[in-house]
Amino acid sequence: MDIERIREFIILAKTCNYQVASDALFTTSSTLSKHIAQMENELSVQLFDRTTRKVTLTNAGKIFLDSANQIVFGYDQAISALKSISRDQGSTMTISFIEVMRQYNVFQMIHDFSALHPDYDIRLMEADAQNMNALLHLNSCDFAFASRLEFFGKDVEALPFAHDELVVILPRNHPLAARKVLTLEDLRNEKFVIHRSYSEDDVFRSHCKERGFDIQPMLTSSNSSTVIDVVSNSMAVAVLSRARCLTHAHITRVVTASLAPRIEFDVFLLYLKNRTLSAPMEAFIRHIKKRAASPAYWS
């Protein structure tokens, strides 16, 4: 039985949803369904009960899940051990990141590391925060830079890398523009343009809901320059991370204000706790710890 088929079974068992599982595995629901059916045929047992709305494990599926986890864990440990034997200078390391990480000088950090270790083969992979946990467990990447730990399991080590907070962006002619600090209640009736980011959009929305209101954005954009442009033309206000705002500090038609209470979050370097670290991985962790100790490096 293919080890990747067993991984697919584990992901589906955890999500109980073909669409969510297939997205995490970068495949289609129909392909995943076909693979599960083939596995059930090979094992001569039904692993899942399927309805139009959900997927649940059968008793046989629950029993097999325990063994599947042990099989995959043992396989990954063996592969990690074999990889760690080769600590030569040509070792490869893959780093996954979400789009917003560039505002924390992650690429500069990686460039500096490569300069110190020119024989290490560093590969980069952009991914959604929700898929990174699967990428780590599938050994598709060695490290991940992200800020939302709820997307990751307890077997993932989180090394603090940077600290940030959300701030309000307003047109310079806005009635609230003269204030240095604003509350969420001050923004209750404002029009918003939202930046599509798990470290900004979701966090801000959840805090608004805690205050008893929800925002209906006039625009949601994955481009922060578009967000700033809408605000600078007095069409709406926005909430972005302070580090992201620094990349647009040259724009004079907008002002920033802090939030009270502050909405803060951390950025982490993530990797599997049970993984045997290669020489490049150990060197990269030391590099990150050294650089993270200096906030000026990423601010």
Give the CATH H-level superfamily of domain 89-162+266-297. Periplasmic binding protein-like II (3.40.190.10)
Q: Which residue's structure tokens are 């925060």? A: 129
> In angstroms, rounded to a whole number, what is the distance separating the alpha carbons of residues 24 and 287?
30
Residues of the chain with CATH 1.10.10.10: 3-84
Residues of the chain with CATH 3.40.190.290: 163-264
pTM for this entry: 0.62
Q: Which residue's structure tokens are 């993932």? A: 156
**Per-run averaged pLDDT (10 residues), the chain, 299 residues:** 90 88 84 92 92 83 91 82 53 83 84 91 84 86 88 90 92 96 95 78 86 89 89 94 84 93 92 89 92 55
Tokens of 150: 């709820």
Kindly provide the b/e burial profile for residues 212-226, where b requires at least 16 CB atoms within 10 angstroms of the residue's own CB: eeebebeeebeebee
Give DSSP secondary structure letters for 29-79: HHHHHHHHHHHHHHHTS--EEE-SS-EEE-HHHHHHHHHHHHHHHHHHHHH
> In angstroms, rounded to a whole number, what is the distance separating the alpha carbons of residues 189 and 126?
36
Task: Please give the backbone phi and psi of residue 165, each rounded to the nearest 5 degrees, phi first.
Answer: -145, 160
Calculate ∠ Cα 247-96-298, nearest 5°. 30
The answer regarding whether domain 3-84 maps to CATH 1.10.10.10 reads yes
Residues of the chain with CATH 3.40.190.10: 89-162+266-297
The contacts of residue 134 (CB under 8 Å, 6+ apart) are: 11, 24, 25, 140
The kind and range of the H/E element at 265 are: strand 264-272
**What's the topology of domain 163-264?**
D-Maltodextrin-Binding Protein; domain 2 (3.40.190)
The contacts of residue 26 (CB under 8 Å, 6+ apart) are: 131
> In angstroms, rounded to a whole number, what is the distance separating the alpha carbons of residues 191 and 216?
8
Phi-psi region of 221 (alpha: psi -120 to 50; beta: other; left: phi over 0): beta
Q: Output the CA torsion sign for 236, 240, 243, 244.
A: negative
Classified as helix, coil or strand, 279 is helix
The contacts of residue 125 (CB under 8 Å, 6+ apart) are: 94, 95, 96, 97, 135, 140, 141
Q: Would you state the pLDDT for residue 85? A: 56
